[in-house]
Structure 1
């Protein structure tokens, strides 16, 4: 007598799955609590259309193959069965006799929980039972919609190396909630962005070699512990973004690759199905069941874990068929071009479905080329992302700051070039983990000069990033001036916070976040020219820049009768040299007193405390009809001014 029983899967579920449009397919496939004829156990279902046989094997039968068969479900390619008596947390794998008769053991693609690495079996689990406490947060997110006109500053975190226990072990999700959330809230960031938390076998991959797309990594606890982390972030007023990897997956024999002995999730042709840089497989975006796997996975994190947005890794590698390939190593599309039409279609559908089902959820693309319209709506031909990482700004800005100040006058165009395209996309300005690894050095160590000048340069860099149009992202450790390059095998150098100069860096960033949130001119029009105006970008000889951030009156929507009144303008001035400049004149929008609301050279930040006694009056200088400010510019510093009588 068979130890498993057949189960029915509704035809409509199979129909939607075959079309690639079953958004909750993870509740159909995989392992789920089930009752049949009064008996409780687990139902198993897997898509393996080219398998000869499929069996469940696990610790419940000493991993013997052939005792717990799954049964074909119509002609869908899905196999399913019911195993009575199985309980929560049981380890299991799927034993598949492939098309050639070989038996291969695979982990469940839809597993909700998995063994802690280096083991890789799945665990029977459940999606139900957690009681959320973030109803108000989720309601507000839906009502407010996308945060294009709100302050967004993102703290990027690798959960395994932000902080470690005294014995070197990982903090759990609950311990991260206890320590990380109040830290980020005190710094004033609006969001935490987690590097991939989907289960992955190799610590050194940082999560980008995903093995279990539906299972939060067991390194830090159980799935409900991760739900609790997100819940507590929302309770503290912090959004959570998740790094997601639909561009490639590892070749581990026990995972997705050659799942039923054939190229099921990937293309069979290595020119389409293998990534030359990372030694991984590339998803077959033209296959409905594969698209459904990925689409449902993105929705899964948004629905089941209340994630506030997804950052998609390596979008450029998905868009181009010849990405990192030489002539003859790639297959053109049906029109002879190099665009991956199937991947483009997938990304558009992904963004459409996410924004339709979860209003207010953010979709972010790490896209490193000049592909047009990445963050433009689908109805105008865009890809439909909310934001795009501004990689050009990042590269140019870091290149400029790495130069000795004496040479910066010859490269001011490197710094200002970003404004030529700043409003072509909805940009995020990233100083991410990629810029502090692989010999690139930590942000602070990239800065030239002695230690004082390095720290002054870093404060200046943060001020320029926060003042520049666009949302903000900073990788952990930058906020207090980590000297060493990031390594996933340890923790940040928290001992540095015992030193006043590093405390000053943190205080500087905290004040920049406060100004970003409190001043409408600093975030309302991050993606429009009307939020920015140059005052002077031509004084390359002095390496000084000045501009306005603006918030003119506007209607919240085309249909709204309400007009939001103009907010005070903010004047920003940057001195990229260590020379104090007395009586430096810049244009002012109008007369009156202007209050100094930020000075990165302040003594509380570790600076030399050169400034303008807290305020300065705009005057007609040298017979000019226009208003001007005569300022003392501190060395390697940024200053911000606001009308003294403004609200």
Structure 2
């Protein structure tokens, strides 16, 4: 009875050693069942309702037993249980299926989710009958005991003790637990303390507050994006990438301020992104998170798409619709930190299994969250398998990795004495660096059509260089320097911009050191920073003219593009996740004009080879960068073969210029293909020539030049024709 005492006292790691069928010393078969909620139990045949034994209640603790002297082999059975309220129910006893019945699914580091979590499996019991159920597995190496609790056992922490074979993973197959069943893990620490119920780290679905229950999830979705997933592998660096960054819950609201569902977003968001000419959409984190105000950047369920807007299969339908429309989907992904909510990973089994133990490494002071211990193999496997999970199971096309700088530096957001140096006395987190390299190698090896993006705000070397060149291996890096310098410049009154020309031109000093994206993200329109239109100086007309000129400059500057939702039509209020974008503003000409401009810029960018060579110095040449008095920039964008040429002229003052001469890359005709000051965009309509003819007049160090009239606060683009 020692094992039974261990089970009753929640200190047993091998419930199969006592529960289920066993041989007695007399060579009889004995069945032990522990159901402290039962008053009587009958043993039934597995495939019929015939009673093959009546169990005796042996102890007040709920131990039932039955013995057979005529049985020569183990057999499968069901239990008809009578409860104290007189109700009865029939169950297939999980303890007749020991761990030898189910070998761990074959997997590698990138597919750990195929080994842990709630997995559908089938147990053969006769030649013609198999029992379907769910095999639960959770990593809790320091636990004294682990139990599965759920709506299938009345959330009773005594019914389903799990088994561990010493590898730190606790397992139990429970028959007849199917799609939609709710569950958690009840863990007792080595100290004997009962911990708060834990959500499954590998749960595919998690309920919202207050339960945060894990939900058994079996996908029924049939994908229709075969042609997308098998498209030829191309060089994304030489392609247009224009990203629409979206917070799904606030892009557009319904009546009573309700968010759109995944299926409603499929019908509304997808055609909008297509119409606007974007090539990619980037979703703020959709992994399950408890606090709305974190926007998903404090995730608890990394494998669960948030249930705020629908089911996992409905989210797949949204991704599928994007793919069928030719739009790539990027997801924000947060491996840097996680919140300390009691149902999550913090102190998971009574010890720091997922976070660094020392708060000088394991606590993030800026975000009041915990930091993953990148030195632990299981943590690295957990995170890398999660990244692979979204690419594999949800057909995601790219991951934007959040807060990379906080991972790279041990002293990030810490004062002296608040951090632990590495083995060489420096501030680099070698374990996090090794993790990021392994992450990127795994992604690109398994999914060559996908890419990764680092939100990294420092001068750390080689973020987007391959790992074989001692880089971190990311595909792209956000150009935070360009963003900060440009926005600081744009905020200034045009009369003062002449003293800050270098803030614009400096970006070209390092523009090709990394594979850059130019981000105007959600971070620039929150926390009192105001909306993009609010940042612009001047009266109403000048604000919009500045913003139009800025968009023209951004789309012609080397680097891929990212713009947060609402920026495309000059969202009025600072963004808030609690309300919809101000779609009513499109009834105003200035706002509608800006939206039209962004649409045209997207189509221009995707249609002009000269703009798509934006990762290589060959695609850009200065014509004039030092006319600070007039705040004018002029440059050439060109294809690799230099057979496609654009002249871009940007005027960041409200003063028009007639007869302004700039150098030209070659003789020939140049046709105007975009003018941000055009009347259709809400501009002044200042007359500028539709065609320029280059002359053999030296200017700006060029043998040839053109003369043009430059509109106020504008970006104009001319294309060489012959």
SS at match of 2:180: coil
Decide whether aligned partners of structure 1 residues 580 and 10 sit closer, same or farther in structure 2, where only a CA change above 3 A counts. Answer: same
In the TM superposition, what is the alpha-carbon distance from 1:185 to its structure 2 partner? 0.6
In the TM superposition, what is the alpha-carbon distance from 1:11 to its structure 2 partner? 6.9
In structure 1, the partner of 2:625 is 537
Deviations 1:604-644 (A, max 9, x none): 00001113231111123489982111111100000000023
More RCO (CA 8 Å, sep 6+): 1
In structure 2, the partner of 1:481 is 570
Does 1:601 find its partner at 2:702? no
In structure 2, the partner of 1:78 is 169
In the TM superposition, what is the alpha-carbon distance from 1:591 to its structure 2 partner? 1.8
In structure 2, the partner of 1:283 is 372
TM-score by length of 1: 0.94
In the TM superposition, what is the alpha-carbon distance from 1:62 to its structure 2 partner? 2.3
In structure 2, the partner of 1:610 is 686
Deviations 1:504-528 (A, max 9, x none): 001101111111111101012x111
In structure 1, the partner of 2:267 is 178
Deviations 1:318-352 (A, max 9, x none): 00011111111111111111100000000000000
CA contact (8 A) 1:146 1:362 kept: no
In structure 2, the partner of 1:269 is 358
1:378-393 to 2 correspondence within 5 Å? 378-393=467-482
TM-score by length of 2: 0.85
- CA distance in 2 between partners of 1:12 and 1:176 (Å): 38
In structure 2, the partner of 1:31 is 118
Find 1:633's aligned residue among 706, 710, 714: 710
- Structure 1, unaligned runs of 5 or more: 554-565
Deviations 1:507-565 (A, max 9, x none): 101111111111101012x1111110000001101110000011132xxxxxxxxxxxx
SS at match of 2:696: coil
1:387-402 to 2 correspondence within 5 Å? 387-402=476-491
In structure 1, the partner of 2:719 is 642
1:137-176 to 2 correspondence within 5 Å? 137-140=228-231, 143-176=232-265
In the TM superposition, what is the alpha-carbon distance from 1:119 to its structure 2 partner? 2.9
1:501-520 to 2 correspondence within 5 Å? 501-520=590-609
Deviations 1:249-304 (A, max 9, x none): 00001111000010000111101111111111100111011100000000000000
1:297-312 to 2 correspondence within 5 Å? 297-312=386-401
Does 1:4 find its partner at 2:94? yes
Decide whether aligned partners of structure 1 residues 9 and 582 sit closer, same or farther in structure 2, where only a CA change above 3 A counts. Answer: farther
SS at match of 2:110: coil
1:11-50 to 2 correspondence within 5 Å? 21-36=108-123, 37=125, 38-50=130-142
Decide whether aligned partners of structure 1 residues 311 and 8 sit closer, same or farther in structure 2, where only a CA change above 3 A counts. Answer: farther
Decide whether aligned partners of structure 1 residues 10 and 534 sit closer, same or farther in structure 2, where only a CA change above 3 A counts. Answer: farther
SS at match of 1:267: coil
In the TM superposition, what is the alpha-carbon distance from 1:170 to its structure 2 partner? 1.4
> What is the RMSD computed on CA atoms of the aligned residues?
1.5
In the TM superposition, what is the alpha-carbon distance from 1:374 to its structure 2 partner? 0.2
- CA distance in 1 between partners of 2:673 and 2:210 (Å): 52
- CA distance in 1 between partners of 2:470 and 2:712 (Å): 46
- CA distance in 1 between partners of 2:463 and 2:112 (Å): 28
Deviations 1:364-401 (A, max 9, x none): 00000000000001111100000000000000000000
Does 1:576 find its partner at 2:664? no
Does 1:110 find its partner at 2:202? yes
CA contact (8 A) 1:582 1:631 kept: yes
**Which is greater in Rg?**
2
Deviations 1:76-113 (A, max 9, x none): 00000011121211111100011111112100000001
Does 1:245 find its partner at 2:245? no
In the TM superposition, what is the alpha-carbon distance from 1:9 to its structure 2 partner? 8.3
In structure 2, the partner of 1:562 is none
SS at match of 1:430: strand
CA contact (8 A) 1:13 1:22 kept: no
CA contact (8 A) 2:674 2:718 kept: yes
Deviations 1:565-619 (A, max 9, x none): x431110000100001000110011222210000000000000111323111112
- CA distance in 2 between partners of 1:427 and 1:25 (Å): 32
Does 1:588 find its partner at 2:667? no
Find 1:458's aligned residue among 534, 547, 563: 547
Deviations 1:46-81 (A, max 9, x none): 000011111111122221211111111x22000000
In structure 2, the partner of 1:527 is 615
1:81-480 to 2 correspondence within 5 Å? 81-104=172-195, 105-126=197-218, 128-140=219-231, 143-480=232-569
CA contact (8 A) 1:92 1:122 kept: yes
- CA distance in 1 between partners of 2:190 and 2:334 (Å): 29
Decide whether aligned partners of structure 1 residues 8 and 446 sit closer, same or farther in structure 2, where only a CA change above 3 A counts. Answer: farther
Deviations 1:125-160 (A, max 9, x none): 12x4321111111111xx324411100000000000
In structure 2, the partner of 1:551 is 639
- CA distance in 2 between partners of 1:464 and 1:395 (Å): 15
- CA distance in 1 between partners of 2:565 and 2:678 (Å): 23
In structure 2, the partner of 1:559 is none
Please identify, of 393-402 and 622-631, the stretch whose mean Cα deviation from structure 2 is larger.
622-631
SS at match of 1:435: helix
